[in-house]
């Protein structure tokens, strides 16, 4: 059982949104600026009036029922969890809800770490079998929040290391990029100021995929651009990266417009017109954070004044 106040960081899905559903690769990284941890109400106060303790109680009830239906291979200390909840346990988190940053993933990871018996040690060299076992379990646990989950978000939050998912199944832990503070190549987050709902957008995308024309475009345009962007990013090859980013951004604007909030569509188009920056979805979209890539962050700061920007890393 981990100690109280052990932090579980949020995550950023850099590449793979929606294309992941068709076996495309995905690349996700932990984002250490936002995190959550367990504590007790008598020492910590929940933020924004959100009743975290009541939320945990409902979630624990769900997990208890899931255990009977799915038959988790992993055993949990439900008695201790229920006792802690009765004593005022909360998940104290600054990860905004509905922002595509893994708020539910961090909670799932924290709960597994603290209450799973014989939990897999995240700091060791893990086999693909162990990683797949964790991902499958986390998908079952996170289904409470999204109806259906890949398990990737909680896996990132638990391992707290970048993960490359290949062909929809092969999980590779990769080395993080070395920071380059002097470069202007910048990965940043744009805060739209609104929340997004994952399930309705996934339903919309699933419905779009019933069209053979859209499906052909997705396989011909989005998936190759996603694959090549991941390869270029991992190789730290910005000359190859940015043309593929433009293709991803253009495809999203053309075919998946509901995923782009009305408030940022002008900014999105400006990036495509000027080639000074490109925006893409951060997860399912619809609100929350959007991802931005630029070769000149100083320019971006002057051109995008309406929305808060947060540097993730320079590369």
The answer to whether position 68 is within a domain reads: yes
Residue 280 sits in which domain range? Answer: 186-314
Mean of the per-residue pLDDT values of the chain: 90
- What band does 4 get if pLDDT is binned at 50, 70 and 90? confident
The answer to whether position 290 is within a domain reads: yes
Q: How many domains does the chain have?
A: 2
Same-domain pairing of 169 and 214: no
Same-domain pairing of 71 and 169: yes
Same-domain pairing of 35 and 138: yes
Check which CATH number belongs to the domain holding 239 and give it.
3.30.70.890
Same-domain pairing of 91 and 127: yes
- Judge whether residue 48 has pLDDT over 60: no
- What band does 283 get if pLDDT is binned at 50, 70 and 90? confident
- Judge whether residue 44 has pLDDT over 60: no
Q: For residues 137-173, b (16+ Cβ closer than 10 Å) or e, as one string? A: bbbbbbbbbbeebbbbbbbbbbbbbbbbbeeeeebee
Same-domain pairing of 104 and 202: no
The answer to whether position 179 is within a domain reads: no
pLDDT of residue 179: 67
Last-in-domain residue among 173, 203, 222: 173
C-alpha to C-alpha distance for 78 and 115, rounded to whole angstroms: 7
Q: Span 171-192, mean pLDDT?
A: 85
Cβ 231 vs Cβ 244: under 8 Å: no
- Judge whether residue 169 has pLDDT over 90: no
Same-domain pairing of 191 and 158: no
Bridge partner list, 12: 29
pLDDT of residue 315: 87
Which 8-state DSSP code applies to residue 176?
Answer: P
Position with higher pLDDT, 123 vs 30: 30
The answer to whether position 229 is within a domain reads: yes
Where does residue 191 rank: exposed (0-12), middle (13-18), buried (19+ CB within 10 A)? middle
Same-domain pairing of 202 and 255: yes
The answer to whether position 146 is within a domain reads: yes
| Ramachandran region, residue 151 (left: φ > 0; alpha: ψ -120 to 50; beta: rest) | left
Same-domain pairing of 17 and 153: yes
- What band does 302 get if pLDDT is binned at 50, 70 and 90? very high
Radius of gyration for the chain, computed over Cα atoms and rounded to the nearest angstrom? 20
Same-domain pairing of 211 and 282: yes
The answer to whether position 3 is within a domain reads: no
**Least confident piece of the model among 85-94, 113-122, 195-204, 241-250:** 195-204
Check which CATH number belongs to the domain holding 64 and give it.
3.30.230
Q: Span 34-52, mean pLDDT?
A: 73
pLDDT of residue 124: 81
Same-domain pairing of 51 and 142: yes
* Dihedral over Cα of 203, 284, 169, 138: its sign: negative
Same-domain pairing of 167 and 18: yes
C-alpha to C-alpha distance for 150 and 129, rounded to whole angstroms: 16
Q: What is the pLDDT of residues 234-259, one digit of tens each?
A: 999 999 999 999 999 999 999 999 99
Where does residue 175 rank: exposed (0-12), middle (13-18), buried (19+ CB within 10 A)? exposed
Last-in-domain residue among 139, 173, 207: 173
Pick the closest to residue 76 from 59, 93, 98 (CA basis).
59
The answer to whether position 1 is within a domain reads: no
Position with higher pLDDT, 49 vs 9: 9
pTM (2 d.p.): 0.89
Same-domain pairing of 220 and 263: yes
Query: CA torsion angle for 23, 24, 30, 34 (degrees, to 10)?
Result: -90
The answer to whether position 40 is within a domain reads: yes
Q: What is the pLDDT of residues 74-110, one digit of tens each?
A: 889 999 999 999 999 999 999 998 898 999 999 999 9
- Judge whether residue 29 has pLDDT over 80: yes
What is the share, in percent, of the chain residues with pLDDT greater than 70?
Answer: 94
Q: Span 214-219, mean pLDDT?
A: 95
């Amino acid at each position: 059982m981990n100690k109280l106040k052990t932090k579980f960081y949020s995550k950023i899905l850099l590449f793979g949104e929606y294309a992941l559903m068709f076996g495309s690769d995905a690349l996700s990284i932990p984002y250490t600026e936002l995190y959550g941890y367990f504590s007790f109400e008598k020492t910590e106060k929940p933020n924004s009036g959100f009743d975290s303790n009541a939320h945990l109680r409902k979630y624990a009830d769900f997990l208890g029922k899931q255990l009977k239906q799915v038959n988790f291979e992993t055993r949990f200390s439900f008695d201790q969890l229920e006792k802690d909840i009765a004593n005022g346990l909360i998940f104290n988190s600054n990860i905004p809800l509905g922002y595509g940053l893994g708020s539910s993933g961090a909670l799932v990871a924290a709960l597994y770490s603290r209450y799973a018996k014989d939990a897999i040690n995240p700091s060791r060299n893990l086999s693909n079998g162990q990683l797949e076992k964790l991902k499958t379990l986390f998908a079952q646990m996170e289904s409470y929040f999204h109806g259906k989950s890949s398990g990737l978000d909680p896996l990132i939050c638990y391992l707290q290391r970048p993960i490359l998912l290949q062909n929809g199944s092969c999980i590779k832990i990769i080395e993080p990029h070395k920071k380059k503070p002097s470069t202007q190549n910048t990965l940043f987050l744009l805060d739209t100021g609104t929340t997004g709902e994952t399930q309705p957008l996934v339903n919309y995308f699933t419905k779009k995929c019933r069209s053979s024309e859209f499906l052909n475009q997705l396989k011909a345009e989005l998936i190759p651009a996603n694959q090549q962007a991941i390869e270029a990013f991992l190789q730290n090859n910005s000359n190859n990266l940015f043309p593929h980013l433009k293709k991803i951004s253009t495809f999203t604007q053309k075919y998946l417009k509901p995923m782009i909030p009305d408030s940022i569509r002008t900014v999105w188009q400006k990036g495509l017109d000027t080639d000074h920056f490109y925006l893409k979805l951060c997860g399912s979209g619809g609100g929350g954070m959007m991802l931005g890539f630029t070769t000149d962050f100083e320019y971006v700061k002057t051109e995008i004044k309406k929305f808060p920007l947060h540097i993730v890393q320079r590369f």
